[in-house]
Structure 1
Amino acid sequence: MTSGNSAPGAPSPGAEPRPEGGLPRVAFAVVTSAWALALISLGILVAGRPPVDENLLFYVVDATDACVYGTVAAVTLARRRHPVGWILALTAVGGGVAALSYAWTVLTIRHPDLPAPEWALQLQGQAWVPGTIALMCVLPYLVRERRLTPVAGAGLIVGLAITAVLTWWSFARSDWDFRLMFALTVVGGTLAALEVGWRRLRGPAAERIGLGWLALGTGIMTATFVPLTRNDGFDLPLWFTPTLHLASQAFFPAAILVVVLRQRLWGMDLAISRTALASTLTVGLVAIYVAVTAAVTAALPWDGAAQVMAAAAVAVAVQPSRLWLNRRVHRLVYGTGVEPDSALRGLGSSLGAGTVEDLLTGLTANVAAALRLESVTLLLDGTPAAATGTPTGPPLIVPLVRGDDVIAELAVTAPPGETLDGRARRALDDLVPLITTGVALARSSADLAEARDRLASVRLEERRVLRRELHDGLGPALAGIRLGLQGARNLLTRDPVQAETLLAALQDELDGRVEDVRALSRSLLPPTLDTAGLGPALDELAARHRAGGLAVEVDCAAADLRGDLAAAVYGIAVEAMMNVARHSRARSARVEVRAEGAELVVRVDDDGRGLAPDAPPGVGTRSMRERAEEQGGSVRIGALPTGGTRVEARLPVPTGVRT
């Protein structure tokens, strides 16, 4: 995916994005410089052996900024030329320079003979300013894909102005008021956090992903400057403010990555481990939790029984917050898949869907929501049957196994910028049995609906056969008999002999029609099939065809077979023999029924003229296939090597049915 620039003046949505590559050499220089500054400063600091005080803790903050933001800046700049990458780089290098300045100051105190230019020693309070202030007051407005709104544009101008003024103030004046500087920083950071939070609530749905965490990260960073706006620091412990700064620097870069990578902003296509993301966010939150806990504990009475009460108050007040934050982090990364009850409730609701399509679509949608996946596609026989989301990368294929058979496959992709690590796979594996059950239920419902449709089709076809026989055969014959009776009535007085002859002919015609009705009845379901079984019923069928001049031989090894399976076998044999009698011009035929393994095989052979290659399937052929499919079997029609045609049906024999 390639996206347009998100800086002010970026193309509007829908416009063709401008191709902009990254700066891999610059990215390498930034990350190398930032880490080198941090490591060199650490070596100098060890040699200087500084006292453990607030300044040392702020050094840790500056060195951490250099390493963390240097890495994030390199990831960004290597793939995209964007102001966010430059701000991150400025923060990293500024933090490294500030850390190096502090370390050198400590070393010169221990070794006064070393050079100690005033400008170099002052950098510890100046170098971090432009990058850190821009990080809070400018960067949040730029983490977007679309053009800036008027409100965002105004906020960005305010943030740039605050950054520029404070940068100039810190470098150009020695009498600057730090409290005013920090107050302006709090104002700019608060405005930026509110704008990101507004986008999270009111922006386009696709662009809200991760903005809650960016707003929280900006707010936390802003909050770390609030104690610095007062001389007394709200009477907090000296270590509290730098510790809170350090915690925010662990959380804020991860929040930026959440937005950039999950939305694939600016064409960033990088996958990171979900575990790494969860760990980074959790470390930041836990550090904040520790700092707040310590501050609350320090503010409470701490002697005797009051000590126990203070500890209890901290545990009651802070522990639920820590657990809530921890759940939020893991839900952000893994979804409700880490909460089995919520995930199972969501999937269970899908099983109550009305249609098969709704059931399968509901399954994929709930799996995607439960595990916070980019896309979930259900594959039946390799063909997508339901899908949620659109994959933008290669999917992970998970087989759905029932018994020894793979009944379906699930193709899943992680959100952009993430990989499915071990924890996500385990959560998916925990849900697979319920998904498999849902798919099996859907397939059973589909099979039942298909069988119902086939049954309705067979019944409709049988009705059509009855209508044709009655309309084309029995109906005209009865009409003819009625006319004949009227003629005989007219001849009774004038020519009794002729009338008697006509009545005898009408009686023969009526006997023939009665036999036709009996034959039709027997072809549908003869009484012999229920009373004597399949063998005698086939013998009666053969006898009727022999009476018509067709020699028929029956070999039935399942003579006592009854029930639906016997009715299906008999129906197939009737249709096959009817085709032989009507179309094949055969002189003889053979009906064979026997068990072969777990199948019942029905063969009807004739010595007729065979089946034309281009002959369309008729009513009888369709009826045979439908009867076989009702039993889970099949019908094959082909030519015999010696001439003639073979109809062969193979029907599974249910367990416990005698053949």
Structure 2
Amino acid sequence: GPVLILLAIPLIPAAIAVAILRHQLLDIRLVVSRALLYGLLTTAVIGTYIGLVAVADVVLRNEVGLGTSVLATVVVAVAFNPVRVRLQRLVDRALYGDRRDPVRAAAKVGTQLSTAGTGLEGVPAVLCRALQLPFAALRDADGEIAAYGTAPETLHTVPLDYHGQRMGELVFGARPGERRLDPADRAVAELLAVPLAVALRATALSGTVQRSREQLVGAREEERRRLRRDLHDGLGPTLTGVAFQADAARNLLVDDPERAKELLEALRGQTTAAIEEIRRLVYGLRPPALDELGLVASLRREADRLSPLQIEIDAVQPLPALPAAVEVAAYRIATEALTNVARHAQASRVRLVLRCAADLEVEVTDDGPGNGNGAGWQPGVGLTSMAERAAELGGSCSAGPTPAGGGTVRAALPLSVHDD
């Protein structure tokens, strides 16, 4: 009856409170913020009013009557808004962190980015503490870099772009009761997106440089291993045989001159083989013709070797001084392309062009019949080798048939390469 209804009335606000807290029907932080704010304001107003009335009553007891209450009211009214603003800031900072001061939050993240050893890995934790967030994560193209807190159901993602290139994402976990990103939080996120994108870009570049260094070191060590193997397994036994043959010929020189003569003739053959092996090793490091004749003359000599194929060389004379790495790469690519034409293209004429501007451009064009169907060439060892040589210097190399028949190889090698 009526008694049960009266007893049930207090349960209604309790049920509302449970629904709000349990199912996050609204941002309870906003309710708490406003309740704390105006509770503190009410307490401050009452306390200030009572204090001013008491003080003014003592000071002005014998001079003013009604003015005491009027003075207290004026002072409270004037001080109310500044106090309210100050209290609102304190309450918001306790509940929302530094979201109303984006520069302060950005400064904290910037300090973290400059911290050696942690850097990007510590950004989510700093962000959570700065904005009172339950969760934050930083991701790049390879996956999650770092995360802090427990991810709620509602997440907000802020893209981190650098000159139009997506470098990663900054992920926020919504506060309890929030369904969307508050404009103040969005302002902080947009302010942080720029330095974080730059930091991710710098990290990516640093990783690329490190991988390049590792590849260079690996290539250098592999080349040293090859040289050691060639010297040990090829030239070493040849020179050892030369020494033994020389000793044997010396021992037989008096007793058996004919046998000694045969050994000396064999010794000459072995010596000639050793010289050829040395030349092969030297050529593998850098073709001697480049130092003796220069790039254009070396290519002309290579063209003469491929006779009867008619090869026309069109090059600016004289070429400017080229970095050694560029010169070797141009020579290797050009000779490989000419050799491929001689072996596979069934061509009668070839034109080799060398142009020098911002890059050294190498172009080899032949008049062969092509593959007959207009399809691109399947990359083999030669084409792959040419592309790798160009890529090592930061250049490019393309090869394929031409619409009119025949084929073309084009390579562009940057002249800004510095020799080690």
TM-score normalised by L of structure 2 = 0.67
Structure 2 CA distance for aligned equivalents of residues 458 and 590 of structure 1: 33
Structure 2 CA distance for aligned equivalents of residues 70 and 437 of structure 1: 53
* Pair 573,591 (structure 1): closer, same or farther in 2 beyond 3 Å: farther
Offset, 1:433:
1.9
**Cα deviations across residues 69-118 of structure 1 (Å, max 9, x unaligned)?**
967843634xxxxxxxxxxxxxxxxxxxxxxxxxxxxxxxxxxxxxxxxx
Structure 1 CA distance for aligned equivalents of residues 230 and 244 of structure 2: 20
CA contact 2:159–2:166 (8 Å) conserved in 1: yes
CA contact 2:49–2:72 (8 Å) conserved in 1: no
Q: Which residue of 2 aligns with 1:335?
A: 97
Equivalent pairs, count:
385
CA contact 1:526–1:537 (8 Å) conserved in 2: no
Q: Which residue of 1 aligns with 2:138?
A: 378
The alignment status of 1:496 with 2:257, answered yes or no, reads: yes
**Cα deviations across residues 229-268 of structure 1 (Å, max 9, x unaligned)?**
xxxxxxxxxxxxxxxxxxxxxxxxxxxx7xx4xxxxx5x3
Q: Which residue of 2 aligns with 1:480?
A: 241
| Unmatched runs of 5 consecutive residues or more in structure 2 | 369-377
* Pair 361,475 (structure 1): closer, same or farther in 2 beyond 3 Å: same
2:198 to 434, 437, 441: 437
Q: Which residue of 2 aligns with 1:285?
A: 40
**Cα deviations across residues 18-54 of structure 1 (Å, max 9, x unaligned)?**
xxxxxxxxxxx99xx98xxxxxxxxxxxxxxxxxxxx
**Cα deviations across residues 318-372 of structure 1 (Å, max 9, x unaligned)?**
99997775444222343234444542343223334556xx433223333333333
SS of residue matched to 1:373: coil
Structure 1 counterpart of 2:160, one-letter code: L
**Cα deviations across residues 546-576 of structure 1 (Å, max 9, x unaligned)?**
49x9979686768547227615724863996
Identity across the alignment (%) = 31
Q: Which residue of 2 aligns with 1:408?
A: 168
Offset, 1:481:
1.5
* Pair 408,285 (structure 1): closer, same or farther in 2 beyond 3 Å: same
Q: Which residue of 2 aligns with 1:391?
A: 151
Q: Which residue of 2 aligns with 1:365?
A: 125
Structure 1 counterpart of 2:234, one-letter code: G
After superposition, the CA RMSD in angstroms is: 5.5
CA contact 1:377–1:387 (8 Å) conserved in 2: yes
Pick which of 376-385 and 273-282 moved more: 273-282
* Pair 639,560 (structure 1): closer, same or farther in 2 beyond 3 Å: same
**Cα deviations across residues 378-427 of structure 1 (Å, max 9, x unaligned)?**
33337434433443335333222323433333233323322421111011
The alignment status of 1:76 with 2:21, answered yes or no, reads: no
* Pair 415,594 (structure 1): closer, same or farther in 2 beyond 3 Å: farther
CA contact 1:378–1:409 (8 Å) conserved in 2: yes
Structure 2 CA distance for aligned equivalents of residues 75 and 539 of structure 1: 91
* Pair 427,530 (structure 1): closer, same or farther in 2 beyond 3 Å: farther
Structure 2 counterpart of 1:285, one-letter code: L
Structure 1 CA distance for aligned equivalents of residues 259 and 202 of structure 2: 73
CA contact 1:484–1:506 (8 Å) conserved in 2: yes
| Unmatched runs of 5 consecutive residues or more in structure 1 | 1-28, 35-65, 78-256, 261-265, 608-612
CA contact 1:535–1:560 (8 Å) conserved in 2: no
* Pair 442,614 (structure 1): closer, same or farther in 2 beyond 3 Å: closer
Structure 2 CA distance for aligned equivalents of residues 596 and 280 of structure 1: 76
Structure 1 CA distance for aligned equivalents of residues 273 and 346 of structure 2: 23
* Pair 546,463 (structure 1): closer, same or farther in 2 beyond 3 Å: farther
* Pair 472,560 (structure 1): closer, same or farther in 2 beyond 3 Å: farther
Structure 1 CA distance for aligned equivalents of residues 171 and 411 of structure 2: 38
Structure 2 counterpart of 1:329, one-letter code: V
* Pair 406,490 (structure 1): closer, same or farther in 2 beyond 3 Å: same
The alignment status of 1:349 with 2:85, answered yes or no, reads: no
**Cα deviations across residues 450-505 of structure 1 (Å, max 9, x unaligned)?**
12112112212211221222122212221222222122222211233443453344
Pick which of 625-634 and 474-483 moved more: 625-634
Q: Which residue of 1 aligns with 2:51?
A: 296
The alignment status of 1:425 with 2:186, answered yes or no, reads: yes
Structure 2 counterpart of 1:292, one-letter code: G
Structure 1 CA distance for aligned equivalents of residues 26 and 300 of structure 2: 73
Structure 2 counterpart of 1:295, one-letter code: I
* Pair 401,297 (structure 1): closer, same or farther in 2 beyond 3 Å: same
* Pair 632,277 (structure 1): closer, same or farther in 2 beyond 3 Å: farther
Matches within 5 A, 1:633-644: none
Which one has a larger percent helix, Structure 1 or Structure 2?
Answer: 1
Offset, 1:629:
4.5
* Pair 640,338 (structure 1): closer, same or farther in 2 beyond 3 Å: same
Matches within 5 A, 1:160-309: 260=21, 268-270=23-25, 272=27, 278-301=33-56, 303=59
* Pair 575,528 (structure 1): closer, same or farther in 2 beyond 3 Å: closer
CA contact 1:274–1:420 (8 Å) conserved in 2: no
Offset, 1:521:
2.5
Structure 1 counterpart of 2:204, one-letter code: R
Offset, 1:605:
10
* Pair 587,557 (structure 1): closer, same or farther in 2 beyond 3 Å: same
CA contact 2:326–2:415 (8 Å) conserved in 1: no
1:458 to 219, 222, 225: 219
Offset, 1:431:
1.8
Matches within 5 A, 1:17-96: 73-74=15-16, 76-77=18-19
Structure 1 CA distance for aligned equivalents of residues 47 and 328 of structure 2: 79
Structure 2 counterpart of 1:74, one-letter code: I
* Pair 348,295 (structure 1): closer, same or farther in 2 beyond 3 Å: same
SS of residue matched to 1:436: helix
Structure 2 CA distance for aligned equivalents of residues 447 and 650 of structure 1: 22
CA contact 1:458–1:627 (8 Å) conserved in 2: no
CA contact 2:133–2:174 (8 Å) conserved in 1: yes
SS of residue matched to 2:153: coil
* Pair 602,286 (structure 1): closer, same or farther in 2 beyond 3 Å: farther
**Cα deviations across residues 153-172 of structure 1 (Å, max 9, x unaligned)?**
xxxxxxxxxxxxxxxxxxxx
1:510 to 271, 274, 282: 271
* Pair 368,290 (structure 1): closer, same or farther in 2 beyond 3 Å: same
CA contact 1:293–1:314 (8 Å) conserved in 2: yes
SS of residue matched to 1:398: strand
Structure 2 counterpart of 1:286, one-letter code: L
Offset, 1:314:
9.5
Structure 1 CA distance for aligned equivalents of residues 163 and 126 of structure 2: 24
